[in-house]
Amino acid sequence: MQMALTLTDLTAPHDFERLVLAEDISVGLRAMICLHSTVLGPAAGGCRMWPYTDDAAAIHDVTRLARGMTYKNAMADLGLGGGKAVIIGDARTDKTPELMQAFGRAVQTLAGSYWTAEDVGISTTDMAHAAQETRFAVGLSGASGDPSPWTAEGVFRCLKVGARHVFGTDDLRERRVLVQGLGHVGLSLAEKLAAAGARLIVTDIHQATVQDAVGRLGAAVCAPETVFDQQMDIFVPCALGGVLTQQAAGLLTARLVCGAANNQLAGDPVAETMAAREITYMPDYVVNAGGIISVASEIHGRPDAWRLERLSAIADRVDQMLRRARDSGRLTSQVADEMVRAMLTGRRAA
């Protein structure tokens, strides 16, 4: 069985360190593992499972995500580089313990240059199966655990910082907040927002989850295709990436965008469109670092206090980023990217 695993190095995009195709046809594994940068430490980033239409779509996603992890880990000061993995398949029907074990063997073959954890479509149980074959799988039950609550807590803290800059107060009572996507992170974040008194609007493709939010949190509901028709103060994207297109940015009524989804912008010009409409965009890789902070605590053997300190530090960096952007008239994404490049350049020089 183990002899069926093959790793093939693919041509990595410019400025990426490595792109690997991992296959084990005996268990249906076809995965891409991407290392964007190990300048600040071993690459770390979650593994997601998704039914990509083809390899090109999977490579497009894994490279964007891996680059985002480099920036996220740098801004969180975790001593880690950026990487990501994607498994091609439907997590609801194609995933098996054997497939995850084969993925674990692929990670082990990379000899510690990449640490993996949960992401979309992958649970702590799945990661435990992978960990049977590699010591470089984290986010395990009994260790740091599911990183989703930590991601939600980090986004919530950053959202309050953003609200203070945009509205003059971080009091969320009666703020109309639309949460798009009620996965582990989105639902946890919705719970925090409801507890803070926000007027919650939710949307998700899974109606059972939506109805749970209605019943427990008193949320209003909108259909996924009508998100950008809604009146809102804050938009919280927690589904997959690319939701902020030029069209969406032109329709958006929110004054603040702060969510957990990776790669929210369909393209860089979207940030300019939102800025021109006086919409403050909080770069996703900055605000959604709570999950990787939790994972990093397991990699480095740090306690909960370390995680909480890093979450507080992220909120402080967000405040600094927003002040720099306001004072210079530049985009928040430009300022955040500049902060990360300074960290990477300094380490390369050292």
pLDDT digits 0-9 by tens, 80-134? 999 999 999 999 999 999 999 999 999 999 999 999 999 889 998 999 999 999 9
- Comparing CA positions, the residue from 83, 84, 88 lying closest to residue 30 is 88
Does residue 302 form part of some domain? no
**Using an 8 Å Cβ cutoff, are 262 and 68 in contact?**
yes
Q: Which pLDDT score is estimated for 1? A: 43
Total domains in the chain come to 2
CATH of the domain at 14: 3.40.50.10860
183 with 254, same domain: the answer is yes
Do 153 and 94 share a structural domain? no
Structure tokens at 12: 């990595």
- 23-38 residues labelled b (16+ CB within 10 A) or e (exposed): bbeebbbbbbbbbbbb
- To the nearest whole percent, how much of the chain has pLDDT over 70? 97
Give yes or no: residues 111 and 39 share one domain. yes
**What is the token pair recorded at 149?**
């609550």
Average pLDDT for 182-189: 94
Q: Which tens digit of pLDDT belongs to each residue from 22-81?
A: 999 999 999 999 999 999 999 999 999 999 999 999 999 999 999 989 998 988 889 999
Q: Give 225's DSSP letter.
A: G
Q: Range of 30's domain?
A: 2-66+81-131
Tokens in use for 98? Answer: 């054997």
Q: Which residue has the tokens 């480095």?
A: 300
Q: Which residues of 147-160 are buried (b: 16+ CB within 10 A; e: fewer)?
A: bbbbbbbbbbbbbb
The tokens for 20 are 């690997």
Q: Are 232 and 201 in a shared domain?
A: yes
Q: Which of 72, 84, 95, 192 is catalytic?
A: 84
Q: Answer yes or no: is 71 within a domain.
A: no
CB 277 within 8 A of CB 249: yes
CA separation for the pair 295, 307 (Å, rounded): 9
Is there a domain that residue 230 lies in?
Answer: yes
For this structure, is 84 an active site residue? yes
Check whether 21 has a pLDDT greater than 80.
yes
Beta-strand pair 256-257/114-115? unpaired
Query: Domain containing 275 — which CATH number?
Result: 3.40.50.720
One domain, residues 125 and 175: no
Residue ranges of alpha helices (H) inside 168-283 are 184-195, 207-217, 246-251, 269-276
Short-list 113, 108, 8, CA closest to 55: 8
